[in-house]
Chain A
Amino acid sequence: MRNIWLICVKELKSYFASPIAYILMAFFGLIFGFGFYTATRDMVRYSFQAQMMGQMAQMNVNEQIIKPLLGFASTVALFLIPMITMRTFAEEKSRGTIELLLTSPVSDLQIILGKWFGAMALYICVLAMSMINIGLLFAWGKPDLKPVLVAYLGLLLQGGCLLGIGVLISTMTKNQIIAGGVTFFVCLLLWLLSWFTAFDTTAAAQVVNYLSIVTHFENFSKGVLESKDVIFYLSMIFFSLFLTSRAMESLRWRA
């Protein structure tokens, strides 16, 4: 436990020692803020229009601002995650510091978990930027809190999966650019899977659709906490980290 914590803290420190953490947080904050601005503006206009026509429109901050925004955040995360995970192992390998980790009395699993938690911590910091905007809604409006929490949980779980996949890919190469690039394409592919099968009802399409990481987020963004989605994400996290430990073992046999 202590070793995982040590490595996690070290990882987080090194993210913040380089510009990468600040860049990710700033850009995510900017993009999310832009999305927030347009969504809020549209809702305000819509409500004025409705008033002028003397209608009582069904206005809902959760439905009209928070849900699309956090859905958007989950898509943006697909692009940020490769930048978080690409260095995890690739950098250790190219610097030779992997020799320090692997010859210290620390198990592979502790190293992997430490790195994954470190990446998660940065991801949480990045997501936290969106809370500035969501916080404004809570300050001046009365959105429902529970669906927001569920959506954030969904973002965390989805991020955890993708981070796991990214860490796995990073163990396979010394080159950060390759690690980042491949992770990006895998993320993109997992996203596209959901488009691919949108109107298809065959069994194969159902399976492919089930594998799409983005599909499972939809329920979360609606504020619906379904066990099948949580289990999907948790098993994906477990599976990717398990493969990472296998990949590290093979690293030893081949290296």
Chain B
Amino acid sequence: MIKVEGLSKRYARTVAVDNISFEVQKGEIVGFLGPNGAGKTTTMRVLTCFLPPTSGTANVAGYDVVAHPMEVKKRIGYLPETPPVYPDMEVAEYLKFTGQLKGISSGDINRRVDEVMGRCSLGDVRNKLIGKLSKGYRQRVGLAQAIIHNPDVLILDEPTSGLDPKQIIEIRALLKSLAGDHTIILSTHILSEVEQSCERVIIISQGKLAAIDSVHNLTNRLRGSEAVAVEIEAANGSPTPAEVQQRLEQVSGVSRVVTRDGRDGRLHFEVESLQGRHIRADLARSVVNAGWALTEMRAVGLSLEDIFLQLTAAEKNSLQKTAEGETK
């Protein structure tokens, strides 16, 4: 449904998007993830024919964005970062205008307006001026505008920003219900969002593709190692954190031990294993053999947050290294 190949977008001095390629199948929900300024919005703007690419091609719903922008525009719904609403229009009036602009015939328009207002729960603000609505409502009006013509592809730039938790859940449910016959790309810098609503993630960092995989694979691939939180009782200052850390590090399969703040005479550590090693039994044995009281031990999952930071930080590190290499 969407096919991007070697896409780059350069502005006068900066490279916003650098040689990105990816594909999205029909009916998928794909999360576009990256820190602020990573190039998410720029990529989306290219896909929606708002900006032309500097090089590379983008194909949306079977049409090239440069060669056939009109055909592409007919088939996409786009919610930009700030909802593109006219504050001096009423909600229903605005939806009618955008719907007609997107080619809905005058016979169908009223029915479609009612339908999307129902879907985005806008019924109670039907005749209110958009300028008087809260951010959450405006966001929903923006979303309603994007889906009004029932487009094949939905491109949503941070659809849940500015919404309260209840509204976020509603929007997520709405997106889930839209998936299947719509292909959805949504960008966000909130990771739990991706975990909850997307099947696949495209992570970009500083304009480059950092990873592209299903949420499940991505967590697994990077998780590989397990992380264990360990709590040990320390009476009268013994053992000292350093002692324990040293001993834990000696357990086979341990890659890293981090000392956390201890309270109430308890020491906390976080132990990470090497890839594919199970260390909990050995850890427990080692602690008990040293004569310390092991009060708690539990597995800590690496969250998508950690993975994301790892990925984007790795990118930064390697960039720094190349930069250093160049100066040398």
Contact = CB atoms under 8 A, between A and B. Distances in A.
Q: Do A and B bind each other?
A: yes
Contacts of A51: none
A33 to B, nearest CB: 29
Interface stretch (A91-99, A136-144, A207-215): A91-99
Given A17-B88, A252-B50, A252-B52, A104 B82 contact: no
Contacts, number: 71
Given A104-B98, A105-B74, A252-B50, A95 B84 contact: yes
A8 to B, nearest CB: 12
B89 A100 contact: no
B88 A103 contact: no
A41 interface: no
Interface in A74-104: 95-104
A107 B97 CA distance: 16
Nearest to A107: B70
A104 B73 CA distance: 6
Interface residues of B, number: 30
Contacts of B50: 99, 102-103, 252, 255
B51 A252 contact: yes
B95 to A, nearest CB: 12
Contacts of A105: 70, 73-74, 101-103
Contacts of A253: 52
Contacts of B81: 96
B39 interface: no
B76 A103 contact: yes
Nearest to A2: B100
A97 B74 contact: no
Contacts of B89: 13-14, 17
B57 interface: no
6 contacts: A97-B85, A100-B84, A103-B50, A104-B102, A105-B73, A254-B11
Interface of A: 2-3, 6-7, 10, 13-14, 17-18, 95-107, 252-255
Interface of B: 11-12, 45, 48-52, 70, 73-74, 76, 78, 80-89, 97-98, 100-103, 145
